[in-house]
Structures are given as structure tokens and as C-alpha cells.
Amino acid sequence: MDDLFRLSHLAGRMQPSPIRELFKLIAQPELISFAGGLPDPGAFPVDRVASCADVLNTNGLELLQYGASEGFGPLRDILLDMSGRRLGYSVSGAELLVTSGSQQAVDLVGRALLDPGDVVVVEAPTYPGTLHSLRNVGARFVAVACDSEGMRVDRLPKAVARCERDTGRRPKLIYTVPDFSNPSGACLSLQRRSQLLSFAQELRIPILEDDPYGCLRYRGESLPSIKSLAGDSPTVIYCSSFSKILAPGVRVAWAVADPELIRTMVLVRQGEDLCTSTVTQGLVAEYCRRGYLEDHLEKILAIYSAKCSAMELALAKHLPQGAAAWHAPAGGFFFWLRLDGISSRDLFHRAIGERVAFVPGEAFYPDVDEQIGDTVTGDRFARLCFTFADTQQIDEGCRRLSRALSPAPTAG
């Protein structure tokens, strides 16, 4: 870059995500995408959201003005109620912050707690947006392997001890998506939730529990959030979002945490973007007030559950025996395939040739030079989102994927 702009140390190390480069290859007609983790736009409650825009007429003077950094009052009331039900206790206003997507909640927690070089425990694989947020503040990562029941919590003590030995620092945060992780789809077992919490309390490391998919369970019984297991302990910082249960375009999410931490996040936030749009907060509040959210959840649960089953069926039907292994998720957006004998990046390029796309696994792991302890990479994995495509596309896409997995011998 022109020497006029001398980038900050942190910004200077930023690299465009290689995945975003791959995404450019996806923009072609007739391609079936399992790549983006997008809600089904066909399920968006367009009419009802549009009808709620009445609030711009009835409450325009307030909705068009600056809002409080903590969030718009009527929406906060709804979120306190929703959070109370999800978290199993009466959440106080001082514990709540409305954010512009959960991405911002992670960003604010990172800015509030982390100095460059500080270490965060993440699941491997984990949500790349969180890696990006925490990289923005110079974090390094301890990656703890996952299996079909989520993070291998039993490995945590050794990983933390090794981090302390190697870096002289105890990790400052443990990040987890316990319900239907992006990308693994795994649901952290109840026993592991309790173990994780005990461990975090003992070592005094806060847990950041990211819960965008908790309401999207298609089979089995709901498990309590880690925050709810923590009772009145401040150990768990909880965040969730309307992005997956209503619409990402509204950019409305929320965090529930210790009041003093929330105060610090608000302070940071006042220098970041002041507040979330009161227009979209008012729209979401009205949508919830009319009871539409319950109806919509019921609707998308049916749709996504059917799509999840469709992908399970299509993978079993089309994929060559032994080419890939997976566990069908009980909720969320994703299948996570372990490939046999092919790198996911190679498979990606072959798949694009067959006009089907997914996200290669490497995106979901910290870069090797950001990792403390045993380094892990995702080269043998592939994330398939089942919520965006329709069921016919899901079947056809899996058929195409099978061709990519077993290419015809080239003429020679």
C-alpha cells in the first residue's frame, strides 16, 4: 500500500480470507450452493415483516432518532423475557446489550477483554467469524478437538496447562457454540457442558457461549444452555441473534453478561457505532410483540428439519461408499463431512466443476501460526449447509458432489 497509509500492526497482518476468494468461483448460474451459511430466503416472513413496518408510522419520531447504546426499550423488554426463558433465571436489564449481529457481541467481548497475544480457547472446528473478530484484537488460539458430542472437554485441562507453560499466559476466554456448532453441527452433551463450566469456574476463565442455533433443534430433547447451568455465577457470557431465527438483514442480536462487563462493552461500543439501528430494533420488537416469532419458528423448524433429513438421505444415497463420514446433526444449519483420501480444497475445485459448492474445512481452524499447542487443520473436512438450497437441489447437489468425489478416469 501507498506509504501514506501506514497500517496498524493488527490491520497489517490481516489477510483476505481465502474462502472469500473461493466464494467468487461460486457466482455462476446453475451452481447449487451448500457453501454460505444462509437461512432459506423462501422462508423469510416477508409479508409479516413488511406489515410490522407500520411502526415507522406510529412510532417514527422515536425510531428515526438516535437510540440508547444498550438497545431500544421495547425490544429490550422482549429480550429480557426471551432470555429469562432460555437461561432459566430472571435476567436484569444491566446484564443485557443489544448488538448489531452476534458478530458485534464477540467483537465487543474481544475488545473488552483481550490484549494482543492473549489466548482464547476455541473448538476445532469453530466459527470463522469469531476467529476474525478475535484476530482483530490480536488473539492467539488454543484449538481443542471436537467429536460428535462437541468439544473434547476432557482435553481442556492439558491444553490450558500447556498454553500456560509455553506462553506464560492463561487463556482469557473459552469460546463455544454448544448447540449445533457452525460448522460441525455437533451438540455439546450435558455432561460436557457441566464439565466445561466447572473447569472454567475453577480456572476463572470466562466462557463465551454463542447460541444462534439453540432454537433450531429438529430431533431429541433440548439441553440447557451453559449460562443456565451457571446459575448466578458470572462465568458465562451468552449471546444469541435474530439472524438465523428471523432474518440476518435486520442485524439485531443480543448479549447477556455480568453487568460490569456489559458496561465496559457499552463504553467500547459508543466509540464503535453508537447503537444498533432503532428502525430495525423497532421492526423486530413489533414482529415479536405480535407473536409472529413463535409462528415463524414453528414454520422454519418444519422446513429445516425436512431439509436436514433430505440431505441425510441424499448423502447416504449418492456418496460413494467410504468416501466421506458424517454424523447427521440434530439441529442447526450444517453437515460436516470427514473426507477420505482427498483434500477438501481439491474436492472444492472438482465440485465447482460439477456445479456444486461447499466450504473447505480449513476455514474453520485458526491459522497454524496463531495456534498455541498442538496445531490442527481442517484439510480433510467439508461443511455443507442444508438450509439455503431446496430439497430438490439438495438431492441433485449431493449427486454432483458424489461425481466430484469419484471423478471419471480422464482419457489419456
Interacting positions 156-195 with a second copy (CB under 8 A): 172
State which residue, 198 or 406, has the beta carbon closest to a second copy: 198
Alpha helices in 59-181 (DSSP H): 60-63, 73-87, 102-113, 128-135, 156-167
Cβ proximity to a second copy, 38 vs 328, nearer residue:
38
241 binds a second copy (CB under 8 A): no
Among 152, 155, 162, 263, binds a second copy (CB under 8 A): 263
Q: Which three cell numbers stand for residue 402?
A: 458424489
Q: Are 175 and 123 in contact (CB under 8 A)?
A: yes
Q: Is 113 in the site for a second copy (CB under 8 A)?
A: yes
Provide the 3-class DSSP secondary structure of residue 176. strand
Cis peptide before 409 (omega within 30 of 0): no
Closest CB 73 distance from a second copy, rounded Å: 14
Helices marked H in 272-358 — which ranges? 278-289, 292-318, 344-353
- Based on the shown chain and the rule CB under 8 A, indicate whether residue 204 belongs to the binding site for a second copy: yes
Reduce the DSSP state of residue 407 to 3 states and report it: coil
* Alpha-carbon dihedral angle through residues 339, 340, 342, 343, given to the nearest 10 degrees: 40
The Cα 402–Cα 351 span in angstroms is 9
Binds a second copy by CB under 8 A, chosen from 77, 248, 305, 376: 248
- 356-357/32-33 β-pairing: parallel
Cα–Cα distances (Å) from 215 to 50, 86, 178, 329, in that order, read 23, 9, 12, 14
Q: Under the criterion CB under 8 A, does residue 46 sit at the interface with a second copy? A: yes
Of 49-68, which residues contact a second copy (CB under 8 A)? 49-50, 53-54, 56-57, 60-67
Q: With respect to a second copy, which residue has the nearer C-beta, 40 or 379?
A: 40
Q: Does residue 44 interact with a second copy by CB under 8 A?
A: yes
Task: List binders of a second copy among 130-159 (CB under 8 A).
Answer: 132-137
| In the complex, least distance from residue 298 CB atom to a second copy, rounded to whole angstroms | 18
Cβ-contact 212, 334 below 8 angstroms: no
| 390 lies in the site for a second copy, by CB under 8 A | no
Contact segment (CB under 8 A) with a second copy among 153-161, 183-191, 259-267, 341-349 equals: 259-267
Shortest spacing between CB 20 and a second copy, in angstroms: 8
- Establish if 94 lies at the interface with a second copy (CB under 8 A): no
In the list 103, 176, 181, 182, the residue contacting a second copy (rule: CB under 8 A) is: 103
Q: Greatest CA span in the chain, whole angstroms? A: 72
Using CB under 8 A, pick the residue from 277, 305, 375, 377 that binds a second copy: 277
**Binds a second copy (CB under 8 A): choice among 81, 166, 260, 295:** 260
Q: CA-to-CA distance for 327 and 351, rounded, in angstroms? A: 21
Q: Which helix (H) or strand (E) holds 268?
A: helix 259-270
Q: Does 24 bind a second copy (CB under 8 A)?
A: no
